Structures are given as structure tokens and as C-alpha cells.
């Protein structure tokens, strides 16, 4: 498959997947159960994404490194009601700092 | 913000129009959207540089950011091309990582309530970042504003930085040096934080995170996060007759 075919096919499928969620008739999602599931889905997906982004290697192996330190700092900041931007900046600074020190690359 | 369980946007039939949003809330949402856009946009430089290094042309690299527009899928695709993998493997992995955008769309479309060309635009902008900002807002007008502002900010910056990275290489160096990878996870946590005050939502998030980590070593990229979404299905089926359905 040529590179252009790869690029365009992947793009077409990606858009098809995105659109699929939007064109599901709202009536199908109006049932109490389905509506609850749809509302919970983004939370579950994003929580799983944060876990995978923070605690796994490229191969999916569990690892605790600078990212875990950054997440811990972010959670403490959130518990202390720090504003959004401060939470994000503190997390980035923690990860960058830990890596610069070579403690938890 | 009150300590009560946060009311969630109630769908297209709920209060609509951005004018309902107070100026300070509007500014707060836009600030969130822009900072998420900047943190994500910075990654576009790496993407552009990696893509060209993998052997894709400038136009192919730009096409990916414009048309595919989903960071995880784009990095996976050029990574497989760089490693000499087949086009089929590249498309399959990219698509597996893209399935979650479709699942986001189920809720995002209910929040936005748009049709026609706007719906197509909303679909293209439905990614982790825009969804997180949208579902993280307590009121519907803020969800809508957050979705569009974040989606457009990420789209503009991501495409701009892709070109920069492709043309002049990774001038910022590894984004990890600045902790930008951790910034994204922290932003998602901060956006979901208000909703985690609800015990059931917290249980769903915890179960999903744990399930994803357990599955991660044994499944291809993209699958752990999808399997973890079953936590939402289980929670949704468990108590079908709560009055706050869909909230």
C-alpha cells in the first residue's frame, strides 16, 4: 500500500469512526440505561487514558517514573483547590524537574 | 460552585445558547480551552518532525494532521511506517486508537445538538481534549463553548506546529524535557475532577484506570482503554431507574 493510500485510508476511517458516534439517533440514547452509559463513557475512557499515559511503557508494561510523580503533585494540587492552569503547570514542572535531576526518567 | 452533585448538561433540549454563560465562567472556559490547545499544540512539532523522519512527505504529514486529526493515531501510524511496518498494520493500529473518538461522539453529540455541516465539523473535532473540556463543565452552555473552543484551538495549533516540525525539525527537542506528556494527563484529571465528587463516577474512573493497566501489557495499543470503558457499561446497567438518568 503506498504511503498516500495509508494516509488517506487511515484518515477516512478515523473520520468515519468520529462521525459514527455523532449520527447515532438521539432517540436510541434516550433510554435511562443507555443515556447513563453514554454519559459515563467519556469519564471511563479518559480515566483509562490517563492511567495508560502515566503508568505504562511503550510496550504496555507497568512503570512508575517522572509521570507518576507529576500526577501525584497534580492530584494534591487539585485536592487543595488549585486553579486549572496551576495544576497543569505544576505537573509539567514536576516531570521536567524529576527528569532533569535524573531521578525518575 | 455548590457542594451538591454537579448537574450535568441535560442534552439538546436543555437550556441553550452561549449567552446564558456569565462573563467570568466564559473566560474560565476559554482559558482552559486555550491552555489545553497550547499544551497539545506543542506536540505537533514532534509529530511533524517524526513524520518526515519516518519518510512521509510534507504534504502527507499535513494531510494526517488536517484529515486524521487525532494525536495518538497519528503518532502510531508514523511510528509503524518508520519501523518498516505494513500499511495495513499502520491503518489498523491508527483505527483501533480512533474507536474511542466514536464513543466520545455519543455524548458530545447530545451536548452540542448540531446538525448538517456543523455536525461534520463537530465530528472531526471530537478528540480526547475537546471531549474532556466539554464533559468537565457543569453547565450546558459551558460544555458547548468548551468543546468548540478547545477543538478549534487544538486544530489550529496542531496543524500549524505540524508544518513547523515538518519543515524545520524538532526545534524544541523532546517535549518530555518540559514535562508536556505529564501536562496532558494532569489537564484531563483537572477537567474530570469536579465530576469525581460523585462516588459512582469515582468508582467508574477507578475501575477503568485499573482495568486498562491490567490489560495494557497483553493487548495492542488502543484496546486497553476501550476494554476499560466497559466500566461505564457496567455502571450504567447496574441501576437503570435513577431519576438523574443521563446525568
What are the residue boundaries of the structural domains of chain B, listed by start?
23-177, 198-247
Look at residue B240 in the predicted model and tell me its pLDDT. 55
Q: What is the pLDDT of residue B5?
A: 40
- Domain range for residue A12? 1-30
Which whole-number Å values give the CA distances from B196 to A21, A44, B190, B207, B238, in the listed order? 24, 11, 10, 13, 19
Residue B238: pLDDT band (50, 70, 90) is confident
Of residues A24, A32, A49, nearest to B240 (C-beta): A32
Q: How far apart are CA B242 and CA B128, in angstroms?
A: 28
B245 has a pLDDT exceeding 50: no
> Looking at the domain assignment, is residue A10 inside a domain?
yes
Q: Is residue A65 part of a domain?
A: no
Question: Which band of pLDDT confidence, cut at 50, 70 and 90, is reported for residue A27?
Answer: confident
Greater pLDDT, A98 or B6: A98
Residue B18, C-alpha cell as written in the block = 452561549
**pLDDT at residue B2 above 60?**
no
Query: Mean pLDDT score of chain B, rounded to an integer?
Result: 88
Residue of A2, A28, A41, A98 to mutate, testing the B interface (most B Cβ within 10 Å of its Cβ): A41
Question: Whole-prediction pTM value?
Answer: 0.88
* ipTM of predicted complex: 0.92
State whether A48 and B39 contact (CB < 8 Å): no
Q: Would you say residue A25 lies in a domain?
A: yes
What does residue B125 show for φ and ψ, rounded to 5 degrees? Answer: -90, 0
Of the candidates A34, A48, A66, which has its C-beta nearest B182's C-beta? Answer: A66
Could you tell me if A80 lies within 8 Å of chain B, comparing CB atoms? no
Number of domains in chain A: 1
Min Cα distance B179 → chain A (Å) is 4
Q: pLDDT per residue over B25-73, tens digit each?
A: 999 999 999 999 998 888 899 999 999 999 999 999 999 999 999 999 9
- Tell me, yes or no, whether A37 lies in a domain: no
Q: What is the pLDDT of residue B16?
A: 47
Amino acid at each position: 500500500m503506498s504511503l498516500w493510500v495509508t494516509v488517506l485510508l487511515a484518515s477516512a476511517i478515523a473520520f468515519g469512526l468520529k462521525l459514527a458516534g455523532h449520527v447515532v439517533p438521539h432517540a436510541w440514547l434516550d433510554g435511562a440505561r443507555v443515556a447513563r452509559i453514554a454519559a459515563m463513557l467519556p469519564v471511563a475512557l479518559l480515566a483509562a487514558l490517563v492511567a495508560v499515559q502515566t503508568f505504562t511503557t511503550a510496550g504496555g508494561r507497568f512503570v512508575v517514573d517522572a509521570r507518576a510523580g507529576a500526577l501525584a503533585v497534580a492530584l494534591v494540587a487539585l485536592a487543595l483547590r488549585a486553579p486549572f492552569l496551576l495544576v497543569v503547570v505544576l505537573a509539567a514542572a514536576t516531570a521536567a524537574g524529576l527528569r532533569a535531576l535524573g531521578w525518575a526518567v | 460552585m455548590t457542594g451538591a452533585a454537579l448537574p450535568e448538561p441535560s442534552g439538546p433540549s436543555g437550556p441553550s445558547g452561549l449567552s446564558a454563560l456569565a462573563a467570568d465562567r466564559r473566560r474560565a472556559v476559554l482559558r482552559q480551552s486555550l491552555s489545553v490547545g497550547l499544551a497539545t499544540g506543542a506536540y505537533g512539532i514532534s509529530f511533524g518532525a517524526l513524520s518526515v523522519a519516518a519518510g512521509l512527505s510534507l504534504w502527507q504529514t499535513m494531510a494526517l494532521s488536517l484529515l486524521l486529526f487525532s494525536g495518538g493515531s497519528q503518532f502510531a501510524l508514523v511510528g509503524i511506517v518508520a519501523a518498516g511496518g505494513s500499511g495495513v498494520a499502520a491503518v489498523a493500529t491508527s483505527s483501533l486508537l480512533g474507536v474511542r473518538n466514536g464513543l466520545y461522539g455519543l455524548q458530545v453529540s447530545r451536548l452540542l445538538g448540531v446538525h448538517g455541516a456543523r455536525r461534520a465539523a463537530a465530528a472531526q473535532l471530537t478528540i480526547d481534549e475537546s471531549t474532556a473540556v466539554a464533559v468537565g463543565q457543569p453547565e450546558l452552555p459551558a460544555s458547548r463553548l468548551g468543546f468548540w473552543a478547545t477543538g478549534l484551538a487544538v486544530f489550529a495549533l496542531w496543524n500549524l506546529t505540524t508544518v513547523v516540525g515538518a519543515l524545520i525539525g524538532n526545534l524544541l527537542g523532546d517535549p518530555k524535557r518540559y514535562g508536556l506528556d505529564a501536562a496532558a494527563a494532569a489537564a484531563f484529571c483537572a477537567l474530570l475532577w469536579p465530576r469525581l465528587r460523585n462516588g459512582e463516577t469515582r468508582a467508574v474512573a477507578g475501575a477503568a484506570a485499573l482495568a486498562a493497566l491490567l490489560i495494557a501489557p497483553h493487548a495492542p495499543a488502543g484496546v486497553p482503554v476501550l476494554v476499560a470503558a466497559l466500566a461505564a457499561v457496567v455502571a450504567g446497567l447496574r441501576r437503570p431507574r435513577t431519576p438523574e438518568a443521563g446525568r
